[in-house]
Structure 1
Amino acid sequence: MLIREAVARGKDILLKAQQMPQAQGEHSVALQDAVFEAKLLMQSLLDISPAQYILASDDLLPDALQDTYFSFIQQRSEGRPVAYILGKTGFWTLDLLSNEHTLIPRADTETLVEWAINLNIAEQPQVLDLGTGTGAIALAIAKERPRWQVTGLDRIEGAVALAKQNAAMNKLSVSFVQSDWFSVLETETPKAFDLIVSNPPYVEPDSKYLRQGDLRFEPHSALIAENNGMADIQKIVEQAPLHLNSKGWLLIEHGFEQAHAVQTLFSKHGFSSIETKCDLNLQPRVTGGLLI
């Protein structure tokens, strides 16, 4: 089978899956574009660029690679995220390993990174990333600001191990430690930070979105928070002042309907210059404030 023939068959399988009625309460498979994804899976399998794919499309695809390719297609037709199928994803300017221990980094979170790296803070600040997952936020900040001292914390041992792999793969110096939010800092020598960033769980437990698209496959412990999705955000905002320097910043990603509630929490716990920035879809996504 030629490479282009395999991709054409893969596209047809994905289109059929996309059009197939799903169980009650679920949407069809959340594909960006069947043609794009069929090509992307092939390019990743062969480790070639889109331009190289065009040149290679009339080459024969070995039988062993056919089996792997259609395994990828089958997994995607069942809704499994591309990042988990390939074991990697892109974020900011980084290539990151990804697995079921962590959320898949999304472009909307780049709003938080962009805000963080453009803050007017100390020349060599101490930065803390809470719930680091793949390490995406911490590593993106370290990539753009190599003189900053960045630490990432996560409750899940597998996530910490993955973040360390991503740091090594991208040749970036970030310290990753296992911790349930601030808990590890309470047993160590007090360390004040100039900036704390976080993309915590903020989806309410009964949200319909948990039954749709990629979210069905991502770890719900990294998505769901009690109190209408606000429990972890509240904990972070309440405890952050204990770990921030004077005039330190806190930036938190949240749901697009939570901006007012998050701003209220910031004000209640001693923050000023409170602002909410929108994501790529112009939805209010990240709220930040300066500790008074």
Structure 2
Amino acid sequence: MPTAHQLLAHCGLDLVDARVLLQHAAGVSRAWLIAHGGDPLPDAAANQFEKLAARRRAGEPVAYLIGWREFYGRDFAVSPAVLIPRPDTELLVELALKHAPRGARVLDLGTGSGCIPVTLKLERPDLTISAVDISLEALAVARNNMLRLDARLRLLASDWFGALSGERFDLIVSNPPYIDAGDVHLSRGDLRFEPRNALTDGGDGLAHVRRIVADAPAHLDAEGWLLFEHGYDQGAAARALLDAAGWREVQTWRDLGDNERVSGGRVPQA
């Protein structure tokens, strides 16, 4: 029976990825792996690891292989039906927590795994949160996370605001598909395996942003806010769209990598 050290040394993977996959295959913690790396592993665990390692060498994201990804300090279930949560999106959560008044009604558009609304509800139990997605498969993943993490919120199948006629909120947040269809990153790395319609609108990456900016005022109360994530190079375009539509206090916030990542503003005056 091979040892953990032997498997890690010969799997042909980045050591961080390899350790995560081996922990998953063997059902052990990182601390156990460090303390017992020289111990023989059961053949079943070694075989499972080698299968996962082969899939990772072929490019499959680690998050899909193990079925979860950490976000805001919690483990969220993921599948190829949803985007993999990323640290950049934690900025959107932090801004939402800051801009949501006590007892606010919050809407998350295009919820995917549900990492944004579930995190908001767990961090701020006073919030009343609704989340929508056009994908029933994505909503199933979000519902799993909602139930597993015990977050009470409403999930709806909707093409953006389509199922929300007459409803108003104090805060609307979104991480919409925003990658330009011509971006080479769509054919590289993990993005190759993620749902394409959750990554790009098939055009310049701003089609959904335009729709949200245009339609959100009808669903916000008088002093409500809209906050949305976008590409590192789309800050100026996002602000221009908001300004042209009459949004107030328009601004863009930078992520930990010093990239413009989230833009938003207060609803236009009636």
Are 2:8 and 1:7 equivalent residues in the alignment? yes
Are 2:181 and 1:180 equivalent residues in the alignment? no
Partner residue of 1:137 out of 105, 112, 116:
116
Please list, as runs of the form range in 1=range in 2, the aligned pairs for 1:99-248 lying within 5 A after superposition: 99-119=79-99, 121-186=100-165, 190-248=166-224
- Quote the Cα distance in structure 1 between the aligned partners of 2:35 and 2:197: 44
- Quote the Cα distance in structure 2 between the aligned partners of 1:175 and 1:61: 44
Deviation at 1:231, TM superposition (A): 0.3
Q: Which runs of 5+ in 1 are unaligned?
A: 15-33
What is the alpha-carbon root mean square deviation over aligned residues?
1.2
Given the two structures, how large is their TM-score scaled by the length of structure 2? Answer: 0.96
Are 2:10 and 1:49 equivalent residues in the alignment? no
Q: Partner amino acid for 1:275?
A: Q
- Quote the Cα distance in structure 2 between the aligned partners of 1:146 and 1:270: 32
Secondary structure of 1:118's match?
helix
Q: Partner amino acid for 1:97?
A: A
Relative to structure 1, the CA distance from residue 134 to residue 273 in structure 2 (aligned partners, 3 Å threshold; closer, same or farther) is same
- Quote the Cα distance in structure 2 between the aligned partners of 1:47 and 1:111: 32
Q: Partner amino acid for 1:215?
A: L
CA deviation digits over 1:171-215, x for unaligned, max 9? Answer: 1112111111111113xxx22100000000011112111111111
Contact 2:26/2:46 (<8 A) preserved: no
Secondary structure of 2:145's match?
helix
Deviation at 1:107, TM superposition (A): 0.3
Of all paired residues, the percent bearing the same amino acid is: 38
Q: Which runs of 5+ in 2 are unaligned?
A: none
- Quote the Cα distance in structure 2 between the aligned partners of 1:36 and 1:227: 35
Given the two structures, how large is their TM-score scaled by the length of structure 1? Answer: 0.89
Correspondence for 2:246: 270
Contact 1:43/1:53 (<8 A) preserved: yes
Contact 1:150/1:174 (<8 A) preserved: yes
